[in-house]
Every structure is written in structure tokens, then in C-alpha cells.
Chains A and B, each alone.
Chain A
């Protein structure tokens, strides 16, 4: 089993070492005379490397595989039939995986994290034990309950339990301190028999086939929908229903789950602003992470595969792409409704008076005026989230892994270059002034290149009959309207903060980042993939 993990991931393990080395170098630079304004860069590098490295290790040693045929995420099915005891199947990945996870965590803490955040030495053992317990429970739940639809709710509940358990030392409850370790040890130890029982029952095939609960729920939903069922008005409507069903609630669900995780932390840390700040950033961050999933028609298939059933649907490539774009817009809007509802609920529960009255005093029109004034901002946030989701849809629909990798590499290079430019501008004042002087020209050149590329893409698409003139007009019209909205609001904000000189750059940047060429080539990309 360990050889198998090594064989699959041996080319990625050096990257872990490289990530750790990069973070150690950043920390050393911080402690040996790095400028004050570069600390943010150090934190950014270290946190990104740590997060990426750790998530990969959890996935690697969690020993969880996807069974696309049965739509399950659980223990590798091929091992269940091997002449190996269940005890060994359970203990090997748990103990070896746990040991490696804890060792890597301790290494990162000692070499990097302790130099960035004030972590007492005594908390390392506590943190490692919480992490180990969480890791074992995630393994056990994935192995034993892979058949259970909605298992993600149990996973999230267990994550919240571990988060609360981890926060036990910080809880201002008298008498709790002597129960901290017994609670944690009980949580840790109980994971092993729970995993063993789950895997044993899975191995015996006790849970083969749909569960009675699942069947009953399915029948209840069918009976409820029976009288109300209407035909779809069009093929577009039917495909939109399918897309929404497959991934429409993913982003709003993750945003809501984030709120559930953040609120207890904010409560214990007495940070009223934390929830609002996190909920305003999370949808934008999550939408960027979920963008590759939008191009897929079935989440359990690889990026390259277009399900045969979708490929033979009597609907045009442009129609399929339009469905994805509309679904992305709807999910973005719902996500922000969830985010604002979470913020509103948080403010209502924790006493909104101070925060809202401060915000209302910004404008002479009071709270109502503030709410109305924020509507364009909300619209912009929805558009921004939608932009994050659909960026790269053209690349994803090609179904070619090499194009995806090339796109990711180009984006990484671009973001690295931009980050380096910003960092250099912060460090060197003269460079900052030169950059600001040339920035409008650079943005205009970029915009001109974008328009030229988009025109070429539209012409190509029209010649290949992959898109119609109406499609092209709709995309261009949408781009212009969104760009005008961004430019308009940017003008208001720049005027309000007394920096009218920034308006041109902001407006140009808005038009530059809004997707245009990507949407023009998306139907062509799908056509390339559809009839392989």
C-alpha cells in the first residue's frame, strides 16, 4: 500500500521539499533584514506553500479513491478482495499516514510557522493530536460511509467538532482544562474502531445497493413532484436544469459551509469583523478555485472526457456553452445572497448596532441610502464572481490536458510577474512612480490586444459556424455593459476618495479582466472535444 502511494506521487514529493525550502528561505529573509513592507509577501508565500503542501499530503495519505461507476469516494475497492485482514487494511494507512502527516506538520511548525505566528511550544503536541484525530476520522468516514449520500454533512460536522476541540484550551469555561486531553484522546482513539467497523461492513457488502433511507427519500420526492411536473420549455431549459442540478449549489453550499466554520471561531476570538471580512472574500476566492469544475459536464469524470450522453444531445455547442454561462451567473447571484444572509444573521446575533450605525454614518442618506448605494457594488461582486467562474471555460472545454497545463502555467507566470511588479513598486518608490506613469499606456495596449484577439476569435467562430451573429453580439454587448458598470462605479469611488487620476486605470483594468475572447472560443473548444 505504501509502495503504491510512493509510486503514484513520487514526482510530487520533491515539490513538497521545494515548498518547504521556499518557505524557510522566506522566513530567513524576514528574520535577517527584510523590509517591513515585504512581510506580507513572506506570509503569502509561506501560507500558500503550507496549505498546498498539506492539502496534497492529506489527499495522498488519506487513501481515498473515487469509484466513478458507483459515484462513491472511499477505500480503494480493489483492496477489499485481497487476502489481507481488515485490521491491516485499516491500520497501515491510518498509522503510517498519520505519522507522516504529524511529522510534516511538526517540521513546518518548527521551521516556518513558529517564526510567523506566535505559537507556544506546548501547543505543538495539542495541535498535532487534533490534526491526527481529524485525519483519522476523515479516513474512517470516507471508508465506512462512502455509500451515504449527504455524507459531506457528516464530514463537515466532524470538521467543526475538531475545530471546537482544538479551541478547547482557549475557551473561557472554568473546569474545562482538566477535561481537554481526555476529550481529545477519546475522539482520537474512537476513530480506529469506527473505521474498522465501517470498512468491515463495507467489505461484507452489507451496504451494497441503495440504502432504504435513500430509496424512501427518492420515492417521497417523486410523489411530491408527480402532480407538479411540467415539461421543459426548451432544450436549453432542460440542459440548464441538468447543469444546475450537477453543480449549481456547489459554490453557495461551500460559502454557507465557510460561514458555519467561521462563526464559532469569530465567537470565541471575539472578532466581530472576521465573519464579515471572510464572507466578503470567500465567494471570490472559492469561485476561482471552482472554475475548472465549470467546464466539466460530470464532476466525476476527468477533464478530458465529454460524457457521451451530453455529446450526442441535439443541442449546439454554443447552446451548451450558453447554459454554462447562465448557470454560472445564477450560482454567483445565489452565492452572494448566502454570503449577505450569513453576514446579516451574524450582525443580528452579535449586536449590529455599532457596526451598521458606523457604516450608515458614511452617507447622509442613512441606512436605506447605504443599502441602495450598495446594490451596484453587489452587482459588481456578482459579476466578479461570475468572471472568476467562467474564466478558463474555453480552455477546459477543449478537453486537452496539455492546453490546461499550458493555461495554468501562463496564468501562474502572469500572476507571479504581477506580484513581483507590485512587490517591487512597494519596495522602490522610483519604480512605483515610473510604473504609475506608464500604467494607463500598458493597460490600453493590453486592452487593444484583447480586442484584437477577441475579434479574431469571433471571426473564426462565425466562419466555422460554431457561433451565430446573435451569440457574438450578446457576448460583446454583455462585455460592454459590464465594463461600463465597472467604469461608472470606479468613477464614483475615485471621485469620493478624491483620486480622480485613478479612474482611467480602474476602468481600463475592468474591461481588461472581463472575459471576452474566452467566451468567443468556448463553442469552438467544445466542438473540438465533442466529436473526438
Chain B
């Protein structure tokens, strides 16, 4: 009886999280600036050898995106946990998994999507071809939501623990290895002239699976953390 429509609930939570993020902009920019800095350090550190840079680029950008997305994971639930709003979300007559999914979506819009947009600019530092840059964007577009949705489960499990930030990365990074392999693999195959379709298809499959199952697992982890 008191149920909001599914889309109504999603838009309520997403809008709330986006407004909160906009009023706390420093947090949002950290992820993006970290990503830009790490990627930009490599050409400076490795030296201006075009051939080597071009070869390293896909893996480098992807590893940096992975590390950057770890930075913001701790914040996904911690503020709501501390001020009690998370508790109220659990007591709302709505599905907690859908609330989680909405929070993940908002988190991705704020910390994942900007990486997708900025990546081609960074890729130019490595002399990547236009085609490779396109594929890089597509892999990040498919891959960064996976990092957010898997990361949410790690963030939920480490909620309220001391030193939770580092622990989230230790928990989540190994789970993200397939994403890294297929993401960087797709770009590499385009660079070496092979069709990237199979890698992209696998990334898409991981995304669908993660979206279907992880919110429920995360919701359960939240219940355990709040007990």
C-alpha cells in the first residue's frame, strides 16, 4: 500500500544522492583528479618512447580507473550510516536492494561517468589511435558501473570498521580482475587489429550479472553491518 513505484523510488534516491554530491563537490573531484594525475604520471616517469607508451596505454588507463574508483567506495554508505539515514532506509517499506541499486547508480554518475568522459583526453598522451580511444570509452562505460556495483558490496561489508577504507580495496580489487582483463584486453585487441567484440560481450555479460545479483548481496551485507 505504501509502495512507491519502482521508478519513483529510484529517481527519489538518485536525485537525493546527486544533490548531496553537488553540495559536497570536493569529494567528487578527488576521484577524477586522482585518475588524471595517475595516468599523467606514467608518460613523465617512463619517458617519451611512443612505441612503449602506446603498448602500455590500455592497461595503464584501466588500472588507474580501477584504483580511482576504489577511492570513493568508502563514501558510498558511510555518511548515511553515521547520521542514521541508512537505518531509516532499511526501515522504509521499500525494497532495500532497489535503494542500494539507486545509490550505486548515483555513485557511478558522480565518480564513474566522469572517468569515461575524461579517458580519451588522457589516452592522447599515449598517442592512442582514434579507434582505440573509442573502444577505451566503451569499455569504461561498461566497466565502471561493474566496479561501482561490486564495490558497493565491499563498502557495505566494511561499514563502521576502523580502517575500512583500505580494507574495501583489499576485498574488492581481486574481484575486479576479470573486468580489468576484459576491459584492457578489448582495447589491446583493437590496437593490434583484432575484433574487440568478444571482450566487450564478456564485459557486458559481467555487467548484467552484477546488476542482477550484487544489489541483493549488498542489501544483505548492510543488514549484517547494521545489526
Q: Do A and B bind each other?
A: no
Interface residues of B (CB under 8 A from A): none
Interface residues of A (CB under 8 A from B): none
